[in-house]
Chain A
């Protein structure tokens, strides 16, 4: 009995509460223009802030794979970022050319050293005792 009475009281209060609140509805739909404009501006600002957050998160996530070559569409990177990326690329190309040139030079030096050693080396005395070598010296083709 007591329980049903309490339930009835709660139901009655809820019904009355919903009815009273329903009378407030026009207050939310008939707002002054300046208020609706400020709400619209606030909404747009919130959406823009979400965009920035998303772009930053994506930028941080992709850094490992793409390093300096990834400009993306992030305007915050700006000309400074692009310039530094370009400089890094230029340094890389110059470095590779330098290494290639140094390697070519080293190989030429090694070959020259072998040639010099062969040409300036004294003939061992035993060579003149070798009949084959003598035959070689007398060959007209030499």
Chain B
């Protein structure tokens, strides 16, 4: 069983990223704060007696459910935003996804692109683009790359197959890379 100090330390270590993840997904900071608070309460009340090692996975699941609940309640607000569907690379045979992605990233990888950009500017732009992604792509991207979960974990949290996670992630990366390049941040 995790001690009070251990639980406090764990919550402290995840609260900021949890807040940002919720904010990216629901696109509302007030709602994101409520979601994080609700998730912390649920973890402490229902799973406070679990070992510390189980906490990260439990918390991510609780957080994901809280985000989904919030999104369901606020579904109508989604219509106010446009999405990146026009930027998503089509699946036609004419475009080779590997070549397209390599072209977007550049042969030097992302390092050269990073060097060319002001970090703050990139962050703002990336945050904006991320929030325009379709819901499932955004969720997959954040879980897989920001929370650095493996495929199986991400699929478990999202309640879908690993193949679906790969597809969502690939499309999210493609869309973000293409949008960044279109705004002059590509190599």
Contact = CB atoms under 8 A, between A and B. Distances in A.
A35 B48 contact: no
B interface secondary structure, majority? helix
B82 to A, nearest CB: 20
Contact of B37 (A8, A28, A46): A46
A28 B16 contact: yes
Interface in A15-51: 15-21, 23-24, 26-29, 31, 35-36, 38-39, 42-43, 45-47, 49-51
B102 interface: yes
B41 A45 contact: yes
B119 interface: yes
Given A21-B146, A23-B123, A46 B11 contact: yes
B65 interface: no
Contacts of B29: 35
Interface of B: 4, 7-8, 11-12, 15-17, 19-20, 29, 33, 36-37, 40-41, 43-45, 48-49, 97-98, 101-102, 104-105, 109-110, 114, 119-120, 122-123, 126-127, 130, 141-142, 144-146, 148, 166, 169-170, 172-174, 176-177
26 contacts: A10-B170, A12-B105, A13-B170, A15-B110, A16-B173, A17-B173, A18-B145, A18-B148, A19-B110, A20-B145, A21-B142, A23-B123, A24-B123, A28-B20, A29-B16, A31-B16, A39-B16, A42-B36, A45-B40, A46-B45, A47-B4, A47-B8, A50-B4, A50-B7, A53-B44, A53-B48
Interface of A: 5, 8-10, 12-21, 23-24, 26-29, 31, 35-36, 38-39, 42-43, 45-47, 49-51, 53-54
